Amino acid sequence: MSERFETKTVHISHAPLAEEASKVTPIYQTSVFAFPGLEEVEQYYEGKRNYLYTRNGNPNQAELAAAVASLEEAEDGVSAASGMAAIMAGLLAVLSPGDHILAADQLYGGTYSLLAKELARFQIELDLIDLQRATSLAEFVRPTTKLLYLETITNPLLSVPDLPHWIREAKAHGLVTMIDNTFATPYLVRPIRYGADLVVHSATKYIGGHSDVTAGVLVGRADLIRRAREVIVNYGASLSPFEAWLAARGLKTLALRMERQCDNARKVAEFLRSHPAVAQTYYPTEEETAFFHCRKQGAMVSFRLRDESSVYAFYRALRWIKLAPSLAGVETSVSHPLTTSHRSLSEEQRQASGITLGLVRLSVGIEAYADIIGELAAALSPAGA
């Protein structure tokens, strides 16, 4: 090595620790990987080496994808820069121009925008189905229908479609099933067990769990994941190594967090159902979630204020519960679907879906449940009690 200062400053710090066994996966914060020679580069393209360029793949991305795939009992998985990027990759792994997609009518607003607006540019048509009223897909399926998309627990009204039934219906018509399992997580239900082809997560939420990462993960059939990985690479939607590392670290405490958050949410829902300022509380029942693998109903609670105009006073009255347009951190937070997650819907769509001014979505954290209830009680007092 040269002793010249300019050269030493570039090269002195880099010493790969090939012989050291780190207890946890290091952060491979590199945009590109080095090769001893051209023969090894060729080995990468022959599938004999794993990494070339972080957009194409990185150990941290792979660790997160493999971990979620294992928990979901899926054949393979791939990580992406966000939940929406993972959804896009899953859809484009299945759909082509001229195809038709069926989706539940209760969806996250960003997902609806992707399905209704962006896919339309690919000449892919969409029909929405009320899965709480319909019993069959027969009347909705066309010769061009390729995929059924739904959420295990819907955002923001927290209804729970009969997942085993709708997967069976989709298979009877030769459709691929893609399930957004963000709200339930594999702690509560694993759709692959019921025959789902693809399962997607906004890992920004419960997978990461600490509101400090933006990431997505798609898992499922190996052939579909192979194509989805190509989409992510080609569209530049790869997850950064540091974000992947953070999400994989957060995932380790998923079971502990979900157990506490679900228990807290059930108690908070019971409190809200009896509060005079609350007109309606949305929280899954034991009957709706009978097919869940874990006998809990989730960590999200939504409710509608009796006096909807008091919603401004309610949010202002909160002290330590934060108003934030996301969910699933260890801290309890609230959001306002009408003006954030579902603002892209038309007024007619929002009214039809029950997304009104007084609807509050509550993400229940790991705090002492009595403190959460006390904070809500204080904020609800000026809001109409």
Residues listed for the chain: 385
Residue-by-residue DSSP string for 286-331: TTTTTT-SSS---SEEEEEESSGGGHHHHHHH-SSSEE-S---SSS
Catalytic residue status for 108: yes
Given 49, 55, 171, 322, which residue is catalytic? 55
Using CA atoms, how far apart are residues 127 and 349, in angstroms rounded to an integer?
14
Strand ranges, E, within the chain: 76-80, 100-104, 125-129, 145-151, 176-180, 198-202, 216-220, 278-282, 300-305, 322-323, 333-335, 359-363
Paired tokens of 277:
């300022």
From 76, 99, 105, 180, the catalytic residue: 180
Q: Does residue 282 carry a catalytic annotation?
A: no
Find the catalytic residue in 76, 99, 108, 266: 108
Q: Which one of the listed residues 28, 99, 105, 205 is annotated catalytic? A: 205
Which residues are CB-contacts of 90 (< 8 A; sequence separation ≥ 6)?
Answer: 178, 198, 200, 218, 220, 224, 228
Is 180 among the residues known to form the active site? Answer: yes
CB of 354 closer than 8 Å to CB of 370: no
Which residues are known catalytic residues?
A: 55, 108, 180, 205
